[in-house]
Structure 1
Amino acid sequence: MSFYTSLNGMKNAQTDLGVIAHNIANVETNGFKKGSTQFADIVAGSAQTNPRMVKGIGATLEAITQNFALGPIEQTGGALDVAITGDGFFAMKSAESGKTVYTRNGAFGTDENGFITDGGVNRLQIFPTDADGNVTSDTPVDAQVAATNAAGAEFVGVVIGEDGVVSASYADGSVEAVGSIALASFITPTGLKQIGSSNWESTGLSGEAKYGSPGTGQYGSLLSGAVERSNVDIAEELVGLITAQRNFQANAKAIDTATQISQTVINLRT
């Protein structure tokens, strides 16, 4: 039995090493949130077993939990760079599948059709507004900048303000509001499913997304001209790496010891 107990311990240590390695690999990934492993002990006993005689048989992986603590904010000066200084996520809708994903990476750009994107097929979701930036609908839509304004002036540039309003400027000197960024929040963020590229999608554990404007209620404020970096602490991860390595070695040593004891018992017959 001790062989399997120690084997489970080695598998758990290997899983811990994998999670830590993933964290370290993403130390420079914008909007990345580190993960941590949680283990639980396993005991074997029946209703008739004396509670003083219940024996532990090792540990099992209980969960790999994401830590959504705020990462360092880096000032970039980019017109379409924006960071959330609090809770909440940017909502991005795929132009191909129509699926909405959520991210903390606010390094945006524009495509050839004027849509504000994450550099791929996902488009930033905004609330429609009037020309003054007042929200006119609580249903998010794709953020798209018109190539020309009503007067026929050509598009010059676009910026995102700290109030979340996306404003486009044109060659005639006019500035028009395109919309206001729609932030999403979840009742249980740790239930979100990672899908890569600093994106998450909702699950039954996280609940459905609720949308709101920056700086209101449970939605974080925005900081324009900045992006949120990974919240991985490299020193902390290296300490965890050493601990996981020692755990693996200790369980391997336990198997070695059990092997020696078994060999001693077998030799008693000879």
Structure 2
Amino acid sequence: MSFYTSLNGLKNSQTDLGVIAHNIANVETNGFKKGSTQFADIVAGSAQTDPRMIKGIGATVEAITQNFGLGPIEQTGGSLDLAITGDGFFAVRSVDSGNTLYTRNGAFGVDEAGFVTDGGPNRLQVYPTDADGNITGTTPVDARIPTANADGAEFVGVVVGNDGLVSASYADGTTEAVGSVALASFTTPTGLKQVGSSNWESTGISGEAKYGSPGSGQYGSLMSGAIERSNVDIAEELVGLITAQRNFQANAKAIDTATQISQTVINLRS
């Protein structure tokens, strides 16, 4: 029995090491949220077992949870580099699948068609507005900046306010609102499913996304010209790495000790 108990310990340590290695590998990934491994003990006994005689049979990985704490904010100066100061998420729609993803990585840009994207096939979602910036609908749509205004003046720049209003400037000196950034929040963000590239999908555990405007409730305000970096603390991860390594070594030593005891018993019988 001790062999399997320690074997479970070895597997758990490997899982912990894998999570820590993933955190360290993403220390420079914008919008990344670190994970941590949660363990639980295992006990077994029947209804007839004396509760004073029940012994544990090892541990198991109960969950790998994500820490959605705010990461450091880096000033970049880019007009479409956005950081959220609260608990909200940017909503982006995948052109390939049509699914809505959620991210904390606010490194956006404009593609050749005028859509505001994350550099890939995902388009930033905004509330539609009129030319004066008044929100005209509660269903988020793709953010698109016209390459020219109604008078034919060419697009020259874009500004995003703390309230999420996206305003495009044109060569004739006019400014026109093209939408207001829609932020999403979740009842249980730790239930979001990681899909890579600092993106998440909603699940039955996280609940459906609730949308709101920056500067209201728990969504937080926007900072234009800034990016939220990874919230991984490299010093903390290195300490965790040492702890996981010691845990692995201790379980390996327990297997070695059990082997020696078994060998001793075999020798006594011979």
Query: Do both proteins adopt the same fold according to a TM-score greater than 0.5, normalized to the shorter chain?
Result: yes
CA distances 1:126-157 after superposition (whole Å, capped 9, x unpaired) = 00112221211111000000111111111111
Distance, in Å, in 2 between the alignment partners of 1:43 and 1:87 is 38
Question: What does 1:88-107 correspond to in 2, within 5 Å?
Answer: 88-107=88-107
Question: What does 1:219-238 correspond to in 2, within 5 Å?
Answer: 219-238=219-238
Residues 162 and 215 of structure 2 are in contact (CA less than 8 Å); yes or no, is this contact kept in structure 1? no
Return the letter of the residue paired with 1:107.
Answer: A
User: Moved runs in structure 1, 4+ residues, more than 2 A?
Assistant: none
- Paired residues in the alignment total 270
Return the letter of the residue paired with 1:146.
Answer: P
Aligned to 1:196: 196
Q: Does 1:183 align with 2:219?
A: no
Distance, in Å, in 2 between the alignment partners of 1:161 and 1:107 is 15
Distance, in Å, in 1 between the alignment partners of 2:210 and 2:65 is 22
Offset of residue 163 of structure 1: 1.4
Aligned to 2:32: 32
- SS at structure 2 position matched to 1:268: helix
Distance, in Å, in 2 between the alignment partners of 1:14 and 1:36 is 13
Aligned to 2:248: 248
Aligned to 1:6: 6
- Over the matched positions of the two proteins, sequence identity in percent amounts to 84
Over the residues paired in the alignment, what is the CA RMSD in angstroms? 0.6
- The normalised TM-score by structure 2 is 0.99
Aligned to 1:63: 63
Distance, in Å, in 1 between the alignment partners of 2:41 and 2:229 is 35
Return the letter of the residue paired with 1:190.
Answer: T
Offset of residue 97 of structure 1: 1.3
Q: Does 1:123 align with 2:123?
A: yes
Distance, in Å, in 1 between the alignment partners of 2:43 and 2:94 is 46
Distance, in Å, in 2 between the alignment partners of 1:199 and 1:51 is 47
Distance, in Å, in 1 between the alignment partners of 2:101 and 2:158 is 23
Offset of residue 218 of structure 1: 2.0
CA distances 1:92-131 after superposition (whole Å, capped 9, x unpaired) = 0011211100000001001000000000000000001122
Offset of residue 224 of structure 1: 0.8
Offset of residue 159 of structure 1: 2.0
Aligned to 2:171: 171
Distance, in Å, in 2 between the alignment partners of 1:214 and 1:47 is 55
